[in-house]
Structures are given as C-alpha cells and as structure tokens.
Amino acid sequence: MEAEIIAVGSEMLASDRLDTNSLYLTGELNNLGIEVVRKSVIGDDRDRLAGAVRDALSRSQILIVSGGLGPTEDDVTREAVAQALQRKLIYSEEIAEALEKRFAQARRKMAEVNRRQAFVIEGAEVLPNDRGTAPGLWLEEPGAVAMLLPGPPHEIKAMFERQCLPRLARIAPRFAIRTLSLRVAGMGESDLDELIAPVYKKYTNPVTTILAGNGEIQVHFRARCATPEEAEALLAEVAAPVELLLGDRVFSRNGDSVEAVVGGLLRKANATLAVAESCTGGMLGERVTSVPGSSAYFKGGFITYTEAMKIEMLGVSPETIERFGAVSRETAEAMAAGARRRTDATYGIAITGVAGPDAAAGPNGAVVAPGTVYIAVADASGTHISHRQFLGERQRVRIFSSALALDALRKRILGRE
C-alpha cells in the first residue's frame, strides 16, 4: 500500500522554510506498513493543487494533503480537492455553529471570513479539530482515500493520531516494518558498495540504502514482512553477513554517533581523554563534548594554531618542527604525547594538517598540499599515527579529520588498529 503527501502553502516554496509535517506522517504511515512514495509541496494555487491531487489519486492508494484549510482567500485546499474529485462544496450549519461556539469560548467575535471553514466536500467525513478552527476531511474514492488535514504541526498531529490512525488501521495491510542502520568509518562509499553489494543485491526486501557524508557512511536496511518476527529474521539474514564483511569499520548499529560510541568506551574503561588540535581548531573537542555527560571522561584540549603554541603548550620540540614541519607524523606524535602528559589523561589525540584553501610551507622550502592531515592517538603503550590526503574544501577536510580521529581512538580502545 502506497501513500503520497502533499503539503500546501506558498511559504514552503520560499528559501527559508521546509515542510516538516511529512516526517511525522511518514513515521506513522510506516508503522502501519504503508510506504510513502512521493512528497510534494504545492503553493496556494487552486488549479495546480487540483492537478496534483488528481495525479496522486491515480497513482497511490492513500493521499494526505496538509495545510490550506484556513479561513483566508489563499487557503484553497477545499476548493482544489472538490474540483479534482468533481464534487460539490456544501455549507455545514453544524460546523459553523461549532466555530461560533469556539470563538465565543475564547471571548472573541468570529470574523465573517471564518465561515469558509464550514464548507465540506460532498460525501466527506468531517474530522473534528480540537486544537484549531480548521476541521479536517476524510474522503473515499474508488481504490483510494484522501485526508485533508490542517497545516499547524500540533493540529495535524492530534488530528492524525485521533481521527486518521484508527481509520487507516482498518484498511492498512498487516505489515510489520523493522529497520537497522550501520554507521561505518574508514572507507569510501564506492569501496564499501563493492564489498557489500554481493550480499544485499540479492534482496529487494529489506531495502538497502547507502549514504555517505561527514566522514562516515550509513548503511540502512528496512525490512517489511507480515509479522515482526519475520521482519527481524529477514533483517538479520542480510545485515549479519554485511556486518561480518565490514568488520571493525562498523562503529554503531543503533544510530549512535562515533563521539557517543567513543564516550561509552571511555566510560566503560574508566579512561580519560585529552585532545590537541591544529587545523581542526577545536572541532574535535566540540564533537567530544557534544555528548551529554562527557565531563566524566574528557579532561580538555589544546588548540595550538601556531608553532609557538605547539612548543609551549604541548612541549613539542622546536627541532621536530624545524626538521619535519608542523604538519608531519613526528609533530602529530609529539602533540598527542604532550596532550596526554600535560593532562594526565589515559588517551591523547592530536590532529595536525592543512585545511586549505591554500597550501602551507613545509620544512626546507617544501610545500604541504591542502588536505594533508596527520592524526596521532597516544596511550601508555605508545602512539599510532595515520596520514590522509583529503579532497575538498576547508570545512570538509576538518570534518573528515575529526571523524577519522574519533574512529582512530575507537579502534585504539578496542585494540584493533
């Protein structure tokens, strides 16, 4: 069973506002085993909306139209849907009276324009609105149902939950949907796909989606079966071999970020952390401390943006910087060791690199290209250093560097470098 959602309102076609009601509606529909196959935003234009409604009902079994039920001239949903279904609009004395009563309770006089909200599409069931003036409408056509719901989020949620869910439950298929999301670090999107495609390609259910961004990859599985047990079993059948292939590169399977995962590992090990940052300028510390309760394991950090700061704050030797450069394996190692030593933390992480856009000067007249990054993770047993040449602009290099550093720490704690 497939659904479409149309959000009505010219303000959602501007450059500063999105339709967010569809997220809530999608979650609720998915829980009933109904897929959302298309979402649209249409302005306050009657003909255009009528066309979109006609098209949607010819394709899908369920249509939700949100917004455009207000009292003003630019609220065109009732008229547009009546036009699309070739039905009449009928004035409801009952709704008009309820509206008047509502205004009287608030000790306000009802404006004449509010009477527009008392029009009902012929044959529709009226869905009462406890939280606003616009009633909703439930319409049945051969092979399809349409719901017209108000736009304000607290109104649409209450109405959908109380009025639409019970009606939908009667017609929805008895499906169960289960999802699983693996978050993966340390490999590129196409390499990952090449590795796991032979497993997931054999299945159209669960649906597998691969998303890359912010220095990590998310692999989503979504299984849809007759019972929750079957969905769980199917998910396990596909996800388990994929997890096996990805191995240690999977850092979470419950949606947790890498900083949250690292936080959990540090807590469990009763260990502490300090950071030393150059090109990321504080981003690594910011990510670590974005996790509530991080003060339990995070001691602090050093943002050493100059060579002098690396020497004074972290005790990197001037000879190391002169000989190998501030962006080097050796400096990263000394920074991580210094951060650890000066804070008495269990682990020290250091990032030094060139975020760009310009290249930097290296030792002996060498040039260090933008995107060059060294990451060091130090503990009592020694220091592990990784080197990357990232592509892209300044902020991307910084995001990837901090993600990689957090993942390097994760592997270090797990003893799996």
Of these, 36, 98, 199, 375, which contacts a copy of itself (CB under 8 A)? 36
15 contacts a copy of itself (rule: CB under 8 A) = yes
Stretch that binds a copy of itself, among 83-91, 232-240, 316-324, 384-392 (CB under 8 A): 384-392
Task: Report the alpha-carbon distance of residue 56 to residue 14 in Å, rounded.
Answer: 23
**Shortest Cβ 61–a copy of itself spacing (Å):** 15
161 contacts a copy of itself (rule: CB under 8 A) = no
**Shortest Cβ 283–a copy of itself spacing (Å):** 4
**Shortest Cβ 34–a copy of itself spacing (Å):** 12
Of these, 68, 152, 325, 348, which contacts a copy of itself (CB under 8 A)? 152
Strand segments, DSSP code E, in 322-370 are 347-353, 360-361, 367-368
Task: Report the alpha-carbon distance of residue 183 to residue 256 in Å, rounded.
Answer: 8
For residue 367, the one-letter residue type is V
Q: State the Cα torsion 240-245-246-248 to the nearest 10°.
A: 90
Strands 347-353 and 273-277: parallel
Contacts with a copy of itself in 296-315 (CB under 8 A)?
298-306, 308-309, 312-313
Stretch that binds a copy of itself, among 36-44, 90-98, 316-324, 403-411 (CB under 8 A): 36-44
Of these, 358, 364, 380, 381, which contacts a copy of itself (CB under 8 A)? 358
Contacts with a copy of itself in 275-294 (CB under 8 A)?
275, 277, 279-290, 292-294
Of these, 44, 79, 243, 407, which contacts a copy of itself (CB under 8 A)? 44
77 contacts a copy of itself (rule: CB under 8 A) = no
**Shortest Cβ 357–a copy of itself spacing (Å):** 6
Of these, 220, 329, 341, 384, which contacts a copy of itself (CB under 8 A)? 220
Q: Give, to the nearest 10 degrees, the angle between helix 228-246 and helix 189-200.
A: 130
Helix, coil or strand: residue 22 = helix
Task: Report the alpha-carbon distance of residue 337 to residue 270 in Å, rounded.
Answer: 20
Contacts with a copy of itself in 45-74 (CB under 8 A)?
45, 48, 52, 55, 70-74
- Whether the ω angle into residue 357 lies within 30 degrees of 0, i.e. cis, is yes
**Shortest Cβ 209–a copy of itself spacing (Å):** 5
φ/ψ region of 283 (left if φ > 0, alpha if ψ in -120 to 50, else beta) reads alpha
Please name which of 134, 251, 121, 232 lies closest in space to residue 183, comparing C-alpha atoms.
Answer: 251
254 contacts a copy of itself (rule: CB under 8 A) = no
**Shortest Cβ 59–a copy of itself spacing (Å):** 8
* 340: Cα separation from own chain's centroid: 34
- Pattern 184-203, a copy of itself, x by CB under 8 A: ----xxxx-xx--x---x--
Measured from the CB atom, the residue of 87 and 396 that comes closer to a copy of itself is 396
Measured from the CB atom, the residue of 298 and 324 that comes closer to a copy of itself is 298
Q: Which residues contact 8 (CB under 8 A, 6 or more apart)?
A: 41, 42, 43, 44, 49, 65, 66, 67, 68, 76, 77, 151
Do residues 406 and 262 touch, judged by C-beta distance below 8 A?
Answer: yes
Please name which of 389, 292, 278, 265 lies closest in space to residue 339, comparing C-alpha atoms.
Answer: 278
Measured from the CB atom, the residue of 58 and 227 that comes closer to a copy of itself is 58
128 contacts a copy of itself (rule: CB under 8 A) = no
Size of the site for a copy of itself (CB under 8 A): 113
409 contacts a copy of itself (rule: CB under 8 A) = no
Measured from the CB atom, the residue of 1 and 87 that comes closer to a copy of itself is 1
Of these, 86, 108, 202, 380, which contacts a copy of itself (CB under 8 A)? 108
**Shortest Cβ 196–a copy of itself spacing (Å):** 10
Measured from the CB atom, the residue of 2 and 125 that comes closer to a copy of itself is 2
Task: Report the alpha-carbon distance of residue 39 to residue 23 in Å, rounded.
Answer: 10
CB atoms within 10 A of CB 297: 23
Helix, coil or strand: residue 159 = helix
10 contacts a copy of itself (rule: CB under 8 A) = yes
Task: Report the alpha-carbon distance of residue 45 to residue 184 in Å, rounded.
Answer: 45
